[in-house]
Structure 1
Amino acid sequence: MDHDERLLHSSSFGAAAAAYAEHRPDYAQAAVRWVLEAAPGSRVLDLGAGTGKLTATLVASGAEVVAVEPDPAMLSELRRALPTVRALPGSAEVIPLPDASVDAVLAGNAMHWFDMAVAGPEIARVLAPGGVLGGLWNVIDDRVGWAAELERVGGSAAVGPRDTLGNWRTATSDLHLPDTGAARFGWPEQAEFPHGQRRTADSLVATLATRAGMLVMPPQEREATLGRIRAFLASSPETAHGGFTLPMLTGVLRVRRL
């Protein structure tokens, strides 16, 4: 994805901020604990925080959290849902925090949108020595038959290259790590943690409709894609009758600032 295309996709979420807040899943608490256990303290930045899905999990963990989000509509949803959290406008490329002010920087389903040539030095700047950078992605467990078929039916716009367990390790292994001359980072570690989200066919369609690839799609094509997904869910015995659990994992990429 080139710079202009990445910008188009990353800026698409504001138009669907309320739906994103309603339908996107939270993150596995075990995944958050795994990142934070390597941090030297409890000051945490949720970077590219969106509507606060990861922020809420961080708050529940007992961390001292500040959230930074560039999109005004997403930031408004975050502030509505979590009014006691310090939530600031800003971006990974321009972080509105002092030097060495946090012990961990976490990004939930956001790090792939960062321009790491610029964001890397910024993340290194706000991290205390020994601090941790963690990228978290909720991925569909495509080892489950119907979930793998959903990927085929929905196509890459609905279920993208970082959205399934089979692809996320390769897609995130070393593509988004800081590259800075001012601070060194250690060797990246990856791990996955079981997770899941209760859905109905309608709410799963609504969730997939908040994917960036779907949001930038021409309306007629988007409706056709969502129609195929609805038809598949109606025909699958696992999803055709009431509620079900979407099988997921929270995948994590963790690296320490030396």
Structure 2
Amino acid sequence: MEVNRLKQDELINELFIRGAPYGATVAENRTKLREAINKPVREDIHLPPDDELRTCSLKLADLQEDISKFDRQNACNEHERIHTRLLHVKGRLNRVSALNSEQKSFWLTLVQQHKQLCSALDVLVAPTTTSEAHIQTSTRTEPQEVLSLLDMSEEALDEMLSIIPTQTESRNIPVDNLITLQENERPTPVAASSPSRNAFRSTVGRPDQQAVNSPQRRKISGNVAADMAANMLPLINIKSGIEDRRRRHLFITSD
């Protein structure tokens, strides 16, 4: 039982049934109850049944409201507070004695209400814990292992190599497919607050067909094509080397 979660009247009751003195402040009674918490409850102390049943009924109604307003952002503290007070009410219900038929019926109603509140509290806490665990699992970034090209699977390697042109293909890059923008044709950046920002985004990098086919836009020097071929050369060499290694591997294993 978390002593700090109990209210003043609950602290006094817990001290009284143990035969321990109680003080005038909450802080004082918390200290006293921590010292007396392990003392057994005195069996010769009996409180009036009507008073105890009425008190337990009010406390269960209070706890029912707390559960209905359960703060999931502070789930741990909320659970401890409500759970501790439910334990206190359970103890008081268990100690009620000498009941007549009417009191017995009321007592059974309160016991059932107490069980329902305990179940409602469990339902509130369990999904929160599961959700947090799922979020932590789904958002955790696993370290990725860096593999060399020789460690890649056959399917992944074939997919990567399929987009790299061969030496013959690199020499036949159609120059007419390349477009350069003249200095005066480059779009002017638009401020973020401009209402035409979306229109600017939708047109950048997507010239209309007439503009693409205009003679002015199709000018490109031979040096650009040569530079592109030179940039592709390392990838082409890698592809050739891997394919050569594959052929040698197949030749060795076939023997």
After TM superposition, the score normalised by the length of structure 2 is 0.24
Q: Which has the higher helix share?
A: 2
- Largest Rg, 1 or 2: 2
After TM superposition, the score normalised by the length of structure 1 is 0.23
